[in-house]
Amino acid sequence: MPELPEVEVTRLSFASRIANAQVREIHVGKPLRWPLGVGLAGGAAEAVNALEGAQVQGVRRRGKYLLVDLVSSARPSLLIIHLGMSGSLRFDKNLPPAGKHDHFSMQTTHGELRLHDPRRFGAVIFAYSENESWPRKLLAGLGVEPLTDDFRPDAFHIALRARSAPIKQVLLAGDIVVGVGNIYASEALFLAGIRPTLAANKLSKPRTAKLHAAIVRVLQAAVNLGGSTLRDFSSAAGEGGYFQLQANVYGREGQACRLCGSQVKMIRQGQRSTFYCASCQNNLRTTDAIELQNQTLFNCTVASTSTNTSSEGSMRETCTTVLTTPSGQNKMRTRL
Active-site residue flag, 2: yes
Whether the Cβ atoms of residue 323 and residue 331 lie closer than 8 Å to each other: yes
Active-site residue flag, 5: no
Catalytic residue among 17, 62, 64, 258: 64
Active-site residue flag, 205: no
DSSP letter for each residue of 30-67:
S--SS-TTTT-TTHHHHHHHHHTT-EEEEEEEETTEEE
Is the dihedral angle over the CA atoms 264, 190, 182, 246 positive or is it negative? negative
CA-CA distance, 230 to 289, in Å (whole number)? 24
Calculate ∠ Cα 255-259-260, nearest 5°: 75
DSSP letter for each residue of 124-190:
EEEES-TTSHHHHHHHTT--B-TTSTT--HHHHHHHHHT--SBHHHHHHH-SSBS---HHHHHHHHH
Q: Count Cβ atoms within 10 A of the Cβ of residue 8 and give its class: 0-12 exposed, 13-18 middle, 19 or more buried.
A: buried
Whether the Cβ atoms of residue 14 and residue 237 lie closer than 8 Å to each other: yes
Active-site residue flag, 11: no
Catalytic residue among 202, 272, 316, 333: 272
Give the residue numbers annotated as catalytic, written as ranges.
2-3, 64, 272
